[in-house]
Each structure stands twice: as structure tokens, then as C-alpha cells.
Amino acid sequence: MGKAWSHERGEGKEEWLTPPLIIKSLGSFDLDPCSPVNRPWDTAAKHYTVEDDGLCQKWEGRVWMNPPYGRETNKWLKKLAEYGNGIALIFARTDTRMFHNYVWNAADAIFFFKGRLKFYTVDGQEAGTAGAASCLVAYGKDNARILEMCDIAGQFVPLIVEAESMTFAGMNSAL
């Protein structure tokens, strides 16, 4: 049995990349603000690396974000939540302060993967299975719709209820 891999324990694991089929299933992105210096494939039309410090750059267009792990993740997710147009890949640690601040109380939808992801190394090889469940988080209604329609195995969870779906028998639509 393969060894479960935790990409939060250092050892250069911060470079572990998104399975390319996932990004392909989500349409084209304008920007990946946290990309490896030597990437095996494009994840967006434009990439920032650690040499640019993507966290300090101005973001434009639809963002793909699989952020640096560990304590840094919080800052990246905060910036994407405030920016409001993109999809993030993060651990499904639904009880954490970060998840409450920038997902439950800020995102438009979540997609929980069925099973654990296998990430990739910068030389394009499939690596070990992640040590925890992961999810995709959508910011913006268009990105939520893309998660809802995507062909990835898992469960879509909308977070912001549309006004019209609040109308039901016995309840005034103005409420």
C-alpha cells in the first residue's frame, strides 16, 4: 500500500502540483499567482512564481489557486476571497478558522472530492496520495456554476442561496 503523503511537513513538498486533469475540467484560467519556477505544464495564461511574489502582485481575470501550504495558506485564501473571482484547491479542514473565515463565510460554493488526490512533482510525475481530503472552493457565481457542472467525482455544495430559491409557500418573496 502506498504511503500517505502530507504536503504540509516540509521536505520540499510545497512544490506538489495539482493533477492536470482537475484544472482541465474547470475551464481556462487567466492567472495562477502561485506557480513553480520550472513548471511542467501551464495552469493559466499568466503565472507568478516565488520570484515575483504572487501574493503582492495585482491579480487580474479568473484565478486558479493551489496555494503554498502551512501557515502561508491563510494569506492566499484571504486574498482570493477578497478578490472574488477564482477557484482554490485546499484541504477540506472544515473546522478551522481559515475555513470559516474564507470559505464558509466568503465563498460561493465548495466541491468535495470523492477519495484522496494524488498530486504531481515539478518534473510531471504522479506522487503519493495526499494525507487528507481536499476540496475546491469557488469565488464568484460563474466559478460556482463551473464546479456544479464539472465531471470530477465528488459532491457540490452551494453556499450562497439565490434570492429566488428563498421563495416558497407561506413565505413572502420580499423576505
Q: Return residues touching ligand SAM (CB under 6 A).
A: 14-18, 32, 34-36, 43, 48-50, 53-55, 66, 68
Rounded Cα distance, 127 and 175, in Å: 51
C-alpha cell at 63: 484565478
Q: Could you tell me which of 43, 11, 20, 18 has the C-alpha nearest to residue 30?
A: 43
CB closer to ligand SAM, 53 vs 167 = 53
Q: Shortest gap between Cβ of 54 and ligand SAM (angstroms)? A: 3
> Distances from the Cα of 67 to the Cαs of 18, 123, 161, 174, in angstroms?
10, 19, 27, 40
CB closer to ligand SAM, 40 vs 115 = 40
What is the SS3 string spanning 1-23?
Answer: CCCCECCCCCCCHHHCECCHHHH
Q: Shortest gap between Cβ of 16 and ligand SAM (angstroms)? A: 6
Q: Shortest gap between Cβ of 1 and ligand SAM (angstroms)? A: 24
Pairing label, strands 109-113, 31-32: unpaired
CB closer to ligand SAM, 43 vs 134 = 43
CB closer to ligand SAM, 43 vs 107 = 43
Q: Shortest gap between Cβ of 11 and ligand SAM (angstroms)? A: 13
Distance of CA 118 to the CA centre of its chain: 15
CB closer to ligand SAM, 48 vs 91 = 48
Q: Shortest gap between Cβ of 106 and ligand SAM (angstroms)? A: 20
- In Å, the largest CA–CA distance within the chain is 59
